Amino acid sequence: MSFTEKSSSAIVGGKTSQLAVVCHGATDLRVEERGIPIPADGEAQIQVGVTGLCGSDLHYYSHGANGTFKILSPMVLGHESCGIVTALGPNLPKTVNLKVGDRVAMEVGVYCKTCKFCKIGRYNLCSNMRFASSAKTFPHLDGTLREVMTFPAELLHKLPPTLDLPLAALAEPLSVVLHAFRRAHLTPGARILVLGAGAVGLLACSLASASGASSVIAVDIEQGKLDFAAQMNWATGTYLLPKGPRVSGLDALAAAQTGWEGLKSSDAVQAVEGLSEGFDAVFECTGVESCMQLAVMAAAPGTKVLFVGMGTPNLLLPTGPAMLREVDLIGVFRYANCYPDALALLGSGRLGDVGKMVTQRYPLDRAGEAFEDMRRGRDKDGNTVIKPMVGNLELR
Ligand SMILES: [Zn+2]
Ligand SMILES: [Zn+2]
């Protein structure tokens, strides 16, 4: 699949231009007028409904880079998104069954279909992947924080009738979680530890409960997020990890050891027989070095750690405890073939009231405020930010 957007002055809904939220560099976010793209062969045009902001968007906003991926030219942010099909280009693939007016979620990673990973269905590892709103490749592919976009039609997924538009944007982070669960091969009744109760961690708790885990313990440094997990009945127990300075190497390892001792002796863990000997699976959703180390310590012999959170590319990992106890360390990068199941899950109601995770909504021209609130972790009224969503479409 190759894809470059063709801009024009096409008229959509009586308009010849649209607003787009463009990152020019660190804290240089501009809401700009852009042309309206028209769909070429195999593509659809979508009126974007909402976009959920995530940690990687925040990194680009704050630093002009996400880890080693630097913004080299102005880029539209956002990739957790859904909207309504407004036009279809010619020559759609036969597998595409879309019409104008369909509500869809956009899976924004364009993979090549020809490399060895694409051929075995692991397209998240595609060597030619271009992911909207990621500066990993150049020229960058613009993201979804705008009013109108075009995209390969086969990467659009129709929403189940029971699923509302704003919620469908959660299919992206939920796909990450689903992919992690598929790689975990859990058995019913598993005892799960989730480190980090941000949006991805919370969805992991929710999916663990829905999949029949017997214990789900959520850990975070913010009580508000843990309370949320408990209120939603997504966690059977929670533990507030004392907040320490951000450390690395041996200092992080010492903090991890202290953290694991604290967690082990907590009421949440003590309430379950044998749990202080370790969990059946640990979902690490923070990307913080000491938490990644703690994850290995907290895994029981013969179990696994799923590394979902990113942010520490090199760290001191306790490989001895992993090797001597055969703890599998499993990397998780985005997702492949998860969107249909994620949307079905969201539409089924099995995850509980996930809509409560959408804690704030902003129109496109207030995207800057959304990013600032996200950076602080609180909005101007003092409410916790879990999943802020930005977008202009009147929702239906
Ligand atoms: Zn994301
Ligand atoms: Zn490929």
d(CA 206, CA 345): 11
Q: Which ligand is nearest to the CA of 335?
A: 1
For residue 371, give its domain range.
7-169+358-390
Lookup: tokens for 10: 């096409």
- Examine the domain organization and report whether 162 and 181 are in the same domain: no
- Examine the domain organization and report whether 44 and 136 are in the same domain: yes
Question: How many residues in the chain?
Answer: 396
Minimal CA–CA distance to 225: which of 241, 248, 210, 209? 241
Phi, psi torsion values for 75, nearest 5 degrees: -135, 135
In a domain, 345, yes or no: no
Distance (angstroms) between ligand 2 centre and the Cα of 346 equals 28
In a domain, 194, yes or no: yes
Which position has the token pair 């998780």? 332
In this predicted complex, what is the ipTM?
Answer: 0.96
Q: Which ligand is nearest to the CA of 200?
A: 1
Q: Which ligand is nearest to the CA of 53?
A: 1
Distance (angstroms) between ligand 1 centre and the Cα of 134 equals 10
In a domain, 341, yes or no: no
> Tell me, what CATH number does 56's domain have?
3.90.180.10
Q: Which ligand is nearest to the CA of 118?
A: 2
- Examine the domain organization and report whether 251 and 274 are in the same domain: yes
In a domain, 132, yes or no: yes
In a domain, 38, yes or no: yes
Lookup: tokens for 304: 């696994």
Q: What's residue 13's pLDDT?
A: 63
- Examine the domain organization and report whether 165 and 34 are in the same domain: yes
- Examine the domain organization and report whether 65 and 89 are in the same domain: yes
Choose the final residue of a domain: 293, 314, 331: 331
Distance (angstroms) between ligand 1 centre and the Cα of 79 equals 6
Distance (angstroms) between ligand 1 centre and the Cα of 261 equals 32
In a domain, 343, yes or no: no
- Examine the domain organization and report whether 199 and 311 are in the same domain: yes
Beta pairing class for 299-307 and 279-284: parallel
> Tell me, what CATH number does 249's domain have?
3.40.50.720
**Per the structure, how many domains does the chain have?**
2
- Examine the domain organization and report whether 309 and 208 are in the same domain: yes
In a domain, 48, yes or no: yes
Distance (angstroms) between ligand 1 centre and the Cα of 145 equals 13
Beta bridge partners of 45: 87, 150
Distance (angstroms) between ligand 1 centre and the Cα of 42 equals 25
- Examine the domain organization and report whether 184 and 239 are in the same domain: yes
- Examine the domain organization and report whether 164 and 283 are in the same domain: no
- Examine the domain organization and report whether 128 and 180 are in the same domain: no
Is residue 168 within a helix (H) or strand (E), and if so which, with residue range?
helix 165-168
Q: Which ligand is nearest to the CA of 308?
A: 1
- Examine the domain organization and report whether 144 and 261 are in the same domain: no
Geometric angle at alpha carbon 350, from 102 and 101, rounded to 5°: 5
Q: Count other Cβ atoms within 10 Å, centred on residue 104.
A: 24
Average pLDDT per 10 consecutive residues for the chain, totaling 396 residues: 73 79 96 95 97 95 92 97 97 96 97 97 96 95 97 98 94 98 96 97 98 97 96 98 94 97 98 97 97 98 96 90 96 98 97 96 96 95 95 68
Distance (angstroms) between ligand 2 centre and the Cα of 121 equals 9
Residues 275 and 237: beta-carbon distance below 8 Å: no
Distance (angstroms) between ligand 1 centre and the Cα of 28 equals 20
Single-letter residue type at 328 = D
Q: What's residue 9's pLDDT?
A: 58
Is residue 118 within a helix (H) or strand (E), and if so which, with residue range?
helix 116-119
Residue 164: exposure state from Cβ atoms within 10 A (0-12, 13-18, ≥19)? middle
d(CA 121, CA 29): 36
- Examine the domain organization and report whether 16 and 145 are in the same domain: yes
Q: Count other Cβ atoms within 10 Å, centred on residue 246.
A: 11
List alpha helices for 265-391, DSSP H: 267-270, 289-298, 319-324, 339-348, 367-376
Distance (angstroms) between ligand 1 centre and the Cα of 60 equals 12
Minimal CA–CA distance to 4: which of 186, 140, 191, 106? 140
In a domain, 350, yes or no: no
Minimal CA–CA distance to 237: which of 205, 259, 207? 205
Lookup: tokens for 106: 């956009």
For the CA atoms of 104, 108, 110, 113, what is the dihedral angle to 10 degrees? -60
